[in-house]
Amino acid sequence: MSIVAGQPSSDSRGPSRGVYVHIPFCAERCDYCAFVTYVGVDDLHGRYCAAVISELGAREGGRATAASSVFFGGGTPSRVDPVLLGRILEAIPREVGCEVTVEVNPEDATVRTLETLARVGVTRVSIGIQSTAPHVLADLGRVHRGGEVRELSMLVDSIGFSSWSMDLIVGSRAESDDDLKRTLADLLDHDHRPPHLSAYLLTVERGTPLGRDPLRHPDDDDLARRYEIVDEALSERGYRWYEVSNWALPGSECRHNQLYWDQGDYIGVGAAAHSHEAGRRSWNVANLEKYLQRIEEGVSAEQGFEILDDDAQRFEALALALRTKKGVPVGAFGSVTDLEGFIEVSGERLILTRRGRLMADSLVARLDIDAVTSFSRGGAGR
């Protein structure tokens, strides 16, 4: 196995896995966000990145299992100096061809930032556009105002990343169908369109400004119609859905996200980061100061864990696969007589229709546990 980032090759290394790095810093907190993020603590960037590097070293314990994908999420990773992100990346042994993604906010996407990210080894960026309508962005609590998306696309495309994505959040009460259609045209109808697009239906999370204001909660019928608008627009332009909220031009799917949906192994480093290794799911302490203190004192940042038994792993594999274009084996549902219009048969697989994707969470509850236990671990997702 070939290794990059200055790590030698060794046949004794274990199988590939993913690495998730949580960067919790933001300029402002969006009204819908329930992730672990912090504002007003930019002075901690260097200290935090040093702690993440220390955690990586302690987590490896002398092992150097190569990563097939690395994902810097948040928060806003692009708020941190890309040179610091590069130092974290240097501490991660990677396979040659490893996909390295960094989430970027539009206001941070300068020539210097993007070129530095590419220079330190980032191969893919995911840009949080959310909308190009200023009034929609204001309703979401976003800092940027949606202008110059085409110029931004041209800039990102010129840097030479192997792939890149733009993300949308759909369903704000301030958004109309026409707003969404214009946003999609701004993103897609030019020569530098993103190879990948994610579109997430706006969800109401407890404890957020959105959650506390019922008048701003999205309407279910609006959400369904907006999803159909997105899927139709992307399908017409050659994109194909491969997970409920993700579309890509052929060959531009996000490998790191596919690892999650295939129930693969990954380690998470940083405050609140989650890991999954061979059925053991664990999570780090979420409080930023407690995270820093633990790492600097040489104490594990892990706050808790759970072990999934075989049945739980098999059910989770099916539940994840159901959300993807791979679908689940015929027989995964005890009966399909009342699921017409929600699923379609493709060979030996059952795949969600567009209507079914809107009901994915409800359909997971219909999976037949007797059928689930007949599949080997992870087999339903492959």
Answer yes or no: do 49 and 142 share one domain: yes
User: Does 225 map to a domain?
Assistant: yes
pLDDT tens profile 18-47: 999 999 999 888 888 878 888 999 999 999
- Indicate the residue among 242, 260, 278 that finishes a domain: 260
Please indicate, yes or no, whether residues 203 and 79 belong to a single structural domain of this protein: yes
Residue 174 counted as domain residue:
yes
Alpha-carbon distance of 364 to 350, in angstroms, equals 13
Reported as a single tens digit per residue, the pLDDT across 285-336 is: 999 999 999 999 999 999 999 999 998 998 999 999 999 999 999 889 877 8
Considering the domain boundaries, does residue 289 fall inside one? no
246 with 329, same domain: the answer is: no
How many residues in total does the chain contain?
382
Q: Is residue 49 part of a domain?
A: yes
If asked whether residues 76 and 217 sit together in one domain, one would say yes
The verdict on 29 and 120 lying in the same domain is yes
- pLDDT of 360 above 90: yes
The better pLDDT of the pair 266, 376 is held by: 266
- pLDDT for the residue numbered 256: 97
The mean per-residue pLDDT over the stretch 155-182 comes to: 96
The answer to whether residue 302 sits within a structural domain is no
**Based on the domain organization, do 348 and 248 belong to the same domain?**
no
Phi first, then psi, for residue 228 (nearest 5°) are -65, -40
**Average pLDDT in the chain:** 90
Long-range Cβ contacts of 52-56 (<8 Å, 24+ apart): 52/21, 52/88, 52/269, 52/270, 53/87, 53/88, 53/91, 54/295, 54/296, 55/269, 55/270, 55/295, 55/301, 56/88, 56/91, 56/92, 56/269
245/364 same-domain check: no
Domain membership of residue 250 as a residue range: 3-260
> Of the candidates 210, 227, 260, which is a domain's last residue?
260
CB-based contacts of 54, cutoff 8 Å, min separation 6: 295, 296
Clarify whether residues 331 and 248 are in a common domain: no
Look at residues 237, 260, 283 and tell me which one is the last residue of a structural domain. Answer: 260
In a domain, 292, yes or no: no
- 207, 351: one domain: no
Total tally of structural domains belonging to the chain: 2
Query: Does residue 330 share a domain with residue 249?
Result: no
Token duo for residue 357: 């994707």
**Residue 297 domain-assigned (yes or no):** no
Residue 280 resides in a domain: no
- Render pLDDT for 120-161 as a digit per residue (tens, 0 to 9): 999 999 999 999 999 999 999 887 767 789 999 999 999 999
**Contacts by residues 33-38 (CB-CB < 8 Å, ≥ 24 positions apart):** 33/141, 33/205, 33/208, 34/205, 34/206, 34/207, 34/208, 35/74, 35/75, 35/272, 36/75, 36/271, 36/272, 36/286, 37/74, 37/75, 37/76, 38/75, 38/288
Asked whether the predicted pLDDT for residue 373 surpasses 60, the reply is no
254: domain CATH number is 3.80.30.20
pLDDT of residue 371: 57
> CA-CA distances (angstroms) from residue 17 to 66, 99, 258, 276, 284?
7, 11, 12, 10, 18
User: Are 131 and 224 part of one and the same domain?
Assistant: yes
* Whether residue 68 is found in the same domain as residue 188: yes
